[in-house]
Structure 1
Amino acid sequence: MKRRRKWTGLALGIVSLLQINLLPVQAEEYWPEGPQIEGESAIVMEASTGTVLYEKNSHEQSYPASITKIMTALLAVENSNLDEEVVFSKNAVYKTEGSGISRDVDEVMSMEECLYGLMLASANECGYAIAEHVGKDYEDFINMMNTRAKEMGCNDTHFNNPHGLPDEEHLTSAYDIATISKEALKNDIFRMIVSTKRHTIPPTNKHEEETYLVNHHKMLTNYQGDSSHLYEYCIGGKTGYTSVAGSTLATYAEKDGMTLICVVTREQAPNHYLDTRTLFDYCFENFQLWNVAEHENSYDSEIRENKIFENEESFVGLNEEGCIVLPKAAAFTDAVPEVEEVKDSKEVIGNIRYTYAGRVVGGTEIEITGAKVSEFTFRKQKEPETEKTGKEKKVLKINVKYIIVGVLAVILLAGIGFGIYHFVDNYYLIKYKLECRRQQKMSFKEIKFRKRKHRK
């Protein structure tokens, strides 16, 4: 715990240094002028950063029609499993009209099949049945929709149904639909479903025949034989139309590593497709994605200078997925960074947020990496720089286990030597004493012999 507090303190020190050192030279900031479109409201948002590349009245409220179903699908994949059984109630069948796949009362389908019906065929009865299944009841699901929208920062939205059929209290904006789409695209199941061109629903308890579905989005498929709007970079989306809403369209496209979300509302067909293509072409031609961890050299130098040990992974680092979006005429260093400290987080200590031309263009997190420092590692005195001596810096590493074994070996050898020394010393001492006793006995015998000889 003490070591973690120490590391966190050092990391926050790095954040403070970054706030001083990440001060780029200001350059003239240029933002490409967007095209003219027919629609009354539109937006293009980059999915990974949330950067708005183009907007036209994007916060004006309007009727969304069936692009409402993006939120319905998101809540379904977040709150249920694909294999759950969904039962179509009387309300689901008879309180919906318009587009559908002709389900019957008490018909049973898996959640997965309901989602394909919802997003490919825009089936209103599937939206109603999903709402009843995911929520405690229908009204509870509507509350879930509005709560989730607020969590994502959608301030222009009030949902009043799960399918988008006309309702004066059912309103949103192009910006909010793009924000909901940005969140939905993080979900792999949602991505899989909206990118599917064709799908077959197997027989059910009410339908003996299979039900064939074709995605209604004409930039993804040649729905109704119309291939004039196909767009090679399209990866999915959702169509919408009612007489009061006009044509609405949410479309997702990927190119050069950049994922874009385009939403247009209050359009007249076929302008919703034409405007969407125009906006995609404009954005792909004029903007590019930059990975922050790969290009933020000022941050990297600070980390290198503040490492605790050589040859060790830094204990803090930049999230490698963080990106920014800039016009192709701008360099990464033209974006203005701002470092913010993050409190109450065990993994993240700060954020680097970038702005350009008055817009927030993305950023990334400064994370505690969890790198472990090797134990019992010691460094020699710092040697002269490589440029001066031609020698590389070396680190002397001593393993205490080997030291202890060595010391014990020396003690053992010393003990053995000491024992041998005393054994030899005692051997000669005993030998000397025995010799002295032998000589004394001989001396006594000689004295007795002489006495006897003298008497005679």
Structure 2
Amino acid sequence: MKKFMSLLLSIIIMIAGPAMTSYAKPDWPSDTGIQSEAGIVMDMDSRTVIFGQNIHVQKAPASITKLLTALVVIENAKLDDMVTFSDDAIHNVEDGAGNKNALEVGDKMTVKDCLYHMLLTSSNQSANALAEHVAGSRDAFVAMMNEKVKELGCENSHFANPSGLNDDTQLTTVYDMALIGTAAYENPTLLEIGSAKSYRLPATANNPDGVTIKMEHKMLMEGDPNYYPAAIAGKTGFTSIAGQTLVTYASKDNRRLIAVTMKSTEFTHYQDTTALLNFGFDKFQNINISENETSYTSGDQPVTLGDGSYEPSDLSIDAKAVITVPRDAQFSDTDRNVVTKLPENHPDGAVALLEYTYNERKVGEVYIISAKQAAIDETAQAGGETPESVPAGQDGEGTPDSGKETGGAAHIAFKLPKQAPWIALIGVIAAAGLGFAIVFFKKKKEEERRLMEERRRKRRQRLEEIGCTQEEFDRLLEERARRGK
């Protein structure tokens, strides 16, 4: 009997074993063999850290700083603005930093020209001149840079100059630079400039006929031994303290990766970046969330999220949102966490955030959006009203009594004192001023009323589009007010 049971168990294991093995969750690949002290490859769509080495250790960035500089400039200046190179912009650089294309004090180029010069050839002078143009001084511009990195979620970065030249306080991490690089290359203007292979600069004092500059990032240049076909844009960096640093954006098979290496002291930054990108493309995949996460957006039963109840037909998930997992993994291998206490910068209409993890590693997230909640948020942001917000005596169609009016202006009755003509003159001027003020405020009130009616019209149209009645909208608006949103 024992022999029979042992044989039966062996048969079961033999049959079921391969099946059980095939459904085991794949391990997260880990080894890329990079030699730089710090490196990362991140999926730009899911923000998943595919591989990281010392990703939160602060290091000097060198000229990859210029990606942040370019982003701040593009967001705060017009491309055709004219930039004049000051003495400080030309000469306030450390010894040995050089002067690409021999710019002189008084040279003029557009913001666009300076951006190409800065990103393709890493000109420190163009970085300085752009900073002065945008903020009035480099110190003021640096403050804008540090404000921007906070906005991007960088927690271990501090910048002290726009060029990336050596400074003991200019420190960041490969993780923060991946966030900065992602934001930079998601800006269409910066992507166009940062991916150019060459550019023709206009005439300057030492280049009266203009000059053609070329991209320094070797992985973008076809024919170079370091050329990487999937690489689209990138920025190089080097100082004696930072060593070689590199940011590279690549796209392949409908996936977008950002790779960063810092503190490469043996000129391995191109080799390391190639290894990181190959690792990300070859061993991982993106899976669409909305195609797999249907429990919230389908069916006919109400969905409860936090304190709210929603119809599935009212809810949606970004059709482009993805998670990043190992090549052989499935969507069902991930764990989901539903967050209803949302961050302050959540999008309009968000009622929950779905966070996905794989073996306790975050691999993506997406907001659940309510169309009705979006209409409420839009109304509130546009100055929408609750019944209590309409002042007493106004019904949206009329205005409070403001006295008798004649010819569209308030009628002011007064008598001129005969014994003091100059006093009478002052009275006339004062009365005229009061009359003009009344007319001005009346027109302003009429404009406000017109805008309010336009908001109401758009709101009614929006409600009709999403199938929400006025009564339901008022109820949701009152709930929003009670929640203090």
* TM-score, structure 1 normalization: 0.71
Q: 1:208 to 1:156 in 2, by over 3 A?
A: same
From 52, 71, 74, the counterpart of 1:55: 52
Maintained 8 Å contact 1:322/1:365: no
User: Which residue of the partner structure matches residue 467 of structure 2?
Assistant: 373
Equivalent pair of 1:99/1:122 in contact (CA under 8 Å) = no
The structural deviation recorded for 1:240 is 0.6
Structure 1 stretches of 4+ with a deviation exceeding 6 A read none
- Is the CA contact 1:314–1:369 (under 8 Å) kept in the aligned structure 2? no
Which one has a bigger Cα radius of gyration? 1
Per-residue deviation, 1:319: 1.5
Secondary structure (helix, strand or coil) at the match of 2:183 reads helix
Cα deviation for residue 100 of structure 1 reads 2.0
Correspondence for 1:437 = none
Deviation at 1:373, TM superposition (A): 2.2
Amino acid at match of 2:231: C
Give the alignment of 1:119-138 within 5 angstroms. 119-138=119-138
2:208 counterpart SS class:
coil
Cα pair 1:99 1:121 within 8 Å, conserved = no
CA contact (8 A) 2:37 2:263 kept: yes
Kept after mapping to 2: 8 A contact 1:68/1:163: yes
Partner Cα distance (1:104, 1:366) in 2: 54
Q: Displacement, 1:321?
A: 2.1
Query: Which of 1 and 2 has higher RCO (CA within 8 Å, sep 6+)?
Result: 1
Shift, 1:313, TM fit: 9.4
Relative distance call for 1:37 and 1:347 in structure 2 (3 A) is same
Alignment-derived partner of residue 348 in structure 1: 350
1:338-372 per-residue CA deviation (whole Å, 9 max, x = no partner) reads 12225576421111111111111112111123642
Superposition deviation, residue 152 in structure 1: 1.9
In 2: Cα distance, 1:52 partner to 1:136 partner: 37
Greater shift, 342-351 or 93-102, is seen at: 342-351
Identify the residue that residue 332 of structure 1 maps to in structure 2: 331
User: Within 2, Cα distance between the matches of 1:72 and 1:277?
Assistant: 26
C-alpha separation in 2, matches of 1:41 and 1:258 = 23
Q: Deviation digits for residues 231-287 of structure 1, max 9, x if unmatched?
A: 000011100111221111111101111111111111135310001101111111111
Say whether the 8 Å CA contact 1:108–1:205 is kept in structure 2.
no
Aligned equivalents of 2:171 and 2:71: distance in 1? 18
Q: Which amino acid aligns with 2:269?
A: H
For 1:64 and 1:99, the matched residues in 2 are separated by 20
Matches for 1:42-191 after TM superposition, within 5 Å: 42-96=39-93, 97-98=97-98, 100-191=100-191
| Structure 2: gaps of 5 or more residues | 1-22, 304-310, 373-464, 470-485
CA apart distance, 1:66: 0.6
Structure-2 residue corresponding to 1:34? 31
Q: Aligned partner of 1:338: which letter?
A: N
Alignment partner, residue 363 of structure 2: 361
The answer (yes or no) to whether the contact 2:288–2:322 under 8 Å persists in 1 is yes
Aligned pair partner of 1:274 in 271, 275, 282: 271
Separation (CA, whole Å) in 1 of partners of 2:197 and 2:148? 28
Distance in structure 1 (CA, Å) of the matches to 2:292 and 2:252: 21
1:319: which partner in 2? 318
Does structure 2 conserve the Cα–Cα contact (< 8 Å) formed by 1:66 and 1:163? yes
Give distance in 1, aligned partners of 2:314 and 2:348.
13
Distance 1:264 1:256, change over 3 A: same
CA 1:167–1:353: 2 relative to 1, 3 Å: same
Distance in 1 (CA, whole Å) between partners of 2:63 and 2:52 is: 21
Deviation at 1:48, TM superposition (A): 1.6
Q: Verify the 8 A CA contact 1:29 1:357 in the aligned structure 2.
A: no
- In structure 2, the residue corresponding to 1:299 is in which secondary structure? coil
Distance 1:99 1:174 in 2: 27
Matched, 1:251 2:345: no
CA distance in 1, matches of 2:104, 2:320: 46
Counterpart Cα distance in 1 of 2:231 and 2:26: 30
CA contact (8 A) 1:185 1:191 kept: yes
Q: Work out the CA distance in 1 between the residues paired with 2:155 and 2:314.
A: 39
Query: Structure 1 pair 269/114, CA: closer, same or farther in 2 (3 Å)?
Result: farther
Aligned AA (1:349): V
For residues 354 and 99 of structure 1, do their structure 2 counterparts lie closer, same or farther at Cα, with a shift above 3 Å needed?
A: farther
Pair 72,346 (structure 1): closer, same or farther in 2 beyond 3 Å? closer
SS of equivalent to 1:144 = helix
CA distance in 2 between counterparts of 1:80 and 1:100 reads 23
Distance 1:130 1:172 in 2: 22
* 1:187-208 deviation line (CA, Å, top 9, x unaligned): 1111111111111112257742
Deviations 1:407-445 (A, max 9, x none): xxxxxxxxxxxxxxxxxxxxxxxxxxxxxxxxxxxxxxx
Distance, in Å, in 2 between the alignment partners of 1:261 and 1:60 is 18
What is the rounded CA distance, in whole Å, between the counterparts of 1:313 and 1:358 in structure 2? 29
- Cα-to-partner distance string for 1:293-331 (whole Å, 9 max, x where unaligned): 1221333435x5449xxxx99222111121111111100
What TM-score do you get using the length of structure 2 for normalisation?
0.67
Matched residues in 2 for 1:259 and 1:101: separation?
A: 34
Residue identity (%): 37
Cα deviation per residue 1:165-210 (whole Å; 9 max; x = unaligned)? 1112211111111111122122111111111111111225774212
1:285 aligned onto 2:282: yes
- 1:114 deviates by 0.5
